[in-house]
Amino acid sequence: MFERNAIIASSAGLHARPAAIFAEAAGAIDIEVTIALASDAAEDAMDASSILSLMSLGAGPGEVVVLRAEGPGAEAALASLALILETDHDAA
Amino acid sequence: MENFQGVGVSPGRIIGSVRQMPHPISEPPRDEKLAGATTAEDAVAALRAASKLVHAELKSRAETASGAAKDVLEATALMAADPMLIKGAVKIINTGTSAERAIWEAGASVAEMLHNLGGYMAERATDVLDVRARIVASLRGVAAPGIPASDTPFVLIADDLAPADTATLDPAKVLALVTSGGGPQSHTAIIARSLGLPAVVAAHGVTSLPDGASVFVDGASGLVATNPDAAQVDAVAAWAKTASALSQFDGNCRTADGHLVPLLANVGGAAEAVTAAAAGAQGVGLLRTEFCFLDRETEPSIDEQVAEYRGVFDAFPGRKVVVRTLDAGADKPLPFLTDSSEPNPALGIRGYRTDLTSPGVLERQLEAIALAAAVSDADVWVMAPMIATPDEAEHFAGLCAAAGLTTPGVMVEVPSAALTAETILAPVKFASLGTNDLTQYTMAADRQLGPLAALNNPWQPAVLRLVHLTVAGSTAEAATRGDDAAKPVGVCGEAAADPALAVVLVGLGVSTLSMTSRSLSAVATVLATITLVEAQSLASLALSAPNAIEARNRVRARLPILDQLGL
């Protein structure tokens, strides 16, 4: 199991637009990736490819989330997904 | 040929092919089980297929959209195939429930979860419910709800249109709007006027017209006719000429005898202000400041507000810009200001009244307006919405003075303000009649209720009397001060955009008219054909009419130019 922390960069938090970009990217990866707030237990982690899960997470700007995945390619996948979270998609 | 007579609410004559707005999707029965031989596996497969179809359809619509609409469509497309939503529905199907009912319930629980998160997420709950309805429509094999997708332009026919429908309306695809319900102040009418689309409301029976039927629509007379005849074909061609002649206003509105009636624009942000200035508007009669506040969970900073207001002021150097302070509440809720659980939002904490429950927001807004005014060349006036008493007017004037704003005013929307105009005007410098709300409150008829559309008509003689009383109050207030110059009373509601009603308002003594910039030229053209005395006699005619329809008919009969131009 690989774990990777990421800080939410979008100034309005993980709302519809950044969540859509992230969910689409997570869905395009073959392995299952989960996401949880750093303050939540690992068993509460949610499906990272679900935009509704991401929105219900309610992660605000500057909050730390944990991405988790298993299997070959997991580490690289998490790195690319973390990069999306750490980009400010609300910046004009 | 079959004729349908409705109420024309936005001028224009066109011939086009009918597309009916699909009916809203009804809720699948609470105990709807898997039908006959359908297994849970079959139902799950059907659900997944429907979800994929809706996902693909929304995604392809996102590709042709732009800006905020594109973002929303992309997010909504993902929701249609969302693993959390589909897993939730599959679980319910596995208990023996039909796919339709299962997705309905799964959607409801997701929407509730988003709603409970509040703010921005709560607004997205509507998107989940939309996706759910689309999936159910696909499962049932019926048309998806919402404005039909089409490659060719069409005449959209509906029972009535909701704000959510009109938000997705593409003016390049829709030739005209025709509704069987609604009234002159319905959303359909307001959106049609702002987009410049011909529109007819309250045309009973039109929802039975088949898709593809050819119809003639006259947005002034309210006629909708099938199988258009040669005269109607000619009328369409004539309108095309009039429309191009009416597309530009020279920025100088006066009656035939030279009485000046400045025509101002209603705008909701810098982009609209630039458009209005280009259309010849002689200033802004209503700047709706909600645009800085909507879709936000917290109050915008003073700096952000200054930048937004400047964008509008800079479009009108040396011209009047009337800023309406934040008008939240009722149909414009704001999470940080208004309480959406009020039993009677229209009679609740809205407009100026939010200062009672959230003091400070108004003062900061006035500070931002003053800062923006100080660095621009516009002549900035400020008015508060929903003022009901002279004490409120005095308090607002005090807040304006403290912010360094020198031209405070009040909106007259509550009948009490019209009735006490003389005392309400004493502490301020002008009044502006908001005829949409004034009509709703005078007639005690919710603007958003189709069945009450006939009451909700600014031609109601009772509303016209309150306009008259407000002007008389201003005259009396000037006499008390021993001044010849009465404080100006303008109109900034939908009423000002109706050329015939504009004549009546001028006759009643209204000094300026503010409207969507699309209507400026039509109103100026008609006002230029009458003298002030003629306008006054038409105003008396309307005031003494027994009802709204009669008031409108009597005035229109005396203004033949309206029919000539197709207005």
The 8-class DSSP code of residue B5 comes to: E
Residues A11 and A80: beta-carbon distance below 8 Å: no
Residue B225 DSSP SS3:
strand
Q: Nearest residue on chain A to B85, judged by CA atoms? A: A52
Which of B:123-182 have CB within 8 Å of A?
Answer: 124, 128
Q: Nearest residue on chain A to B69, judged by CA atoms? A: A17
- CA trace torsion B90, B94, B95, B99 (10° rounding): 50
State the CATH class of domain B263-565: alpha beta
Rounded Cα gap, residues B556 and B567, in angstroms: 10
E-assigned strands of B171-274? 174-179, 199-201, 214-218, 223-226, 263-267
- Position A89 scores a pLDDT of 76
- Position B167 scores a pLDDT of 66
Q: Tens-of-pLDDT digits for all 567 residues of chain B? A: 899 999 888 999 999 999 999 888 899 999 899 988 889 999 999 999 999 999 999 888 888 777 777 777 888 899 999 999 999 999 999 999 999 999 999 999 999 988 888 777 777 888 899 899 999 999 999 988 888 888 899 999 998 887 667 767 888 899 999 999 887 777 788 888 888 899 999 899 999 999 999 999 999 989 999 999 999 999 999 999 888 878 778 999 999 999 999 999 999 999 999 999 999 999 999 999 988 887 777 889 999 999 999 999 999 999 999 999 999 887 777 877 887 778 888 899 999 999 999 999 999 999 999 999 999 999 999 999 999 999 999 999 999 999 999 999 999 999 999 999 999 999 999 999 999 999 999 999 987 777 888 898 999 999 999 999 999 999 999 999 998 899 999 999 889 999 999 999 999 999 999 999 989 999 999 999 999 999 999 999 999 999 999 999 999 999 999 988 888
State the CATH class of domain B3-21+147-245: alpha beta
Tell me, yes or no, if B438 comes closer than 8 A to chain A by beta carbon.
no
Q: Nearest residue on chain A to B107, judged by CA atoms? A: A52
Contact B83 A49 (CB under 8 A): yes
C-alpha atoms less than 13 angstroms from C-alpha of B248 in its C-beta half-sphere: 5
Contact A51 B74 (CB under 8 A): no
Contact A50 B121 (CB under 8 A): no
- Position A90 scores a pLDDT of 67
Residue B491 DSSP SS3:
strand
The catalytic residues of B are: 187, 492
Looking at chain B, the domain(s) classified CATH 1.10.274.10 span 40-140
Closest to B189 (Cα-Cα) out of B224, B163, B207, B153: B163
Contact B121 A15 (CB under 8 A): yes
Nearest to B75 among A20, A49, A56 (CB): A20
Residues B81 and B103: beta-carbon distance below 8 Å: no
State how beta strands B199-201 and B174-179 pair. parallel
Contact B75 A16 (CB under 8 A): yes
CA distances for B265 relative to A72, B129, B321, angstroms: 62, 36, 9
Check the CA dihedral B275-B279-B284-B285 and report its sign: negative
Rounded Cα gap, residues B492 and B498, in angstroms: 12
Helix (H) / strand (E) containing B536: helix B532-543
Which of A:39-78 have CB within 8 Å of B?
Answer: 46-47, 49-53, 55-56, 58
C-alpha atoms less than 13 angstroms from C-alpha of A80 in its C-beta half-sphere: 13
Instruction: Catalogue the long-range contacts made by B301-309 (C-beta closer than 8 Å, 24 or more residues apart).
Output: B302/B364, B302/B367, B302/B368, B302/B371, B305/B364, B305/B365, B305/B368, B305/B369, B305/B372, B306/B368, B306/B371, B306/B372, B307/B372, B308/B269, B308/B270, B309/B368, B309/B369, B309/B372, B309/B373
Report chain A residues whose CB lies below 8 A from the CB of B75: 16-17, 19-20, 51
Residues B515 and B249: beta-carbon distance below 8 Å: no
State how beta strands A64-69 and A2-7 pair. antiparallel
Residue B346 DSSP SS3:
helix
Contact A55 B83 (CB under 8 A): no
pLDDT digits (tens, 9 = 90+) for A26-81: 999 889 999 999 888 888 899 999 999 998 888 888 999 999 999 888 999 999 99
Tell me, yes or no, if B67 comes closer than 8 A to chain A by beta carbon.
no
Nearest to B121 among A24, A53, A55 (CB): A55
- Map B382-435 to HEC letters: EEECCCCCHHHHHHHHHHHHHHCCCCEEEEECCHHHHHCHHHHHCCCCEEEECH
Minimal C-alpha gap between A85 and chain B (Å): 16
Chain-centre distance of CA B75, in angstroms?
26
**What CATH number does the domain located at B40-140 have?**
1.10.274.10
Q: Where are the alpha helices (DSSP H) in B94-205?
A: 99-117, 119-140, 163-167, 187-195
The mean of the pLDDT values for chain A is 88
CB-based burial label for B389 (10 Å; 0-12, 13-18, 19+): middle
Looking at chain B, the domain(s) classified CATH 3.20.20.60 span 263-565
**Placement of tokens 């429930």 in the chain:** B97
Q: Where are the alpha helices (DSSP H) in B246-285?
A: 270-278
For chain A, the structural domain boundaries read: 2-85
Contact A47 B83 (CB under 8 A): yes
Report chain B residues whose CB lies below 8 A from the CB of A19: 75
Rounded Cα gap, residues B492 and B514, in angstroms: 5
The amino acid that residue B149 corresponds to is A
Report chain A residues whose CB lies below 8 A from the CB of B128: 52
Chain-centre distance of CA B2, in angstroms?
31
Rounded Cα gap, residues B145 and B168, in angstroms: 12
Residues listed for chain B: 567
Tell me, yes or no, if A12 comes closer than 8 A to chain B by beta carbon.
yes
Residues listed for chain A: 92
The 8-class DSSP code of residue B33 comes to: B
Give B386's contacts (C-beta < 8 A, 6+ positions apart).
B327, B350, B351, B352, B353, B411, B413, B414, B437
DSSP letters for chain A: -EEEEEE--STT-S-HHHHHHHHHHHHTSSS-EEEEETTS-GGG-EETT-HHHHHHHTPPTT-EEEEEE-STTHHHHHHHHHHHHTS-TT--
**What CATH number does the domain located at A2-85 have?**
3.30.1340.10
Q: What are phi and psi of B493, to 5 degrees?
A: -100, 180
Q: Nearest residue on chain B to A19, judged by CA atoms? A: B75
Q: Band of the pLDDT at A92, cuts 50, 70, 90?
A: very low
- Position A91 scores a pLDDT of 60
Chain pair A-B, CB pairs under 8 angstroms: 52
Residues A65 and A38: beta-carbon distance below 8 Å: yes
Contact A24 B83 (CB under 8 A): no
- Map B155-183 to HEC letters: EEEECCCCHHHHHCCCCCCEEEEEECCCC
**Placement of tokens 């100088």 in the chain:** B252
Q: Could you give the ipTM of this predicted complex?
A: 0.89
Looking at chain B, the domain(s) classified CATH 3.50.30.10 span 3-21+147-245
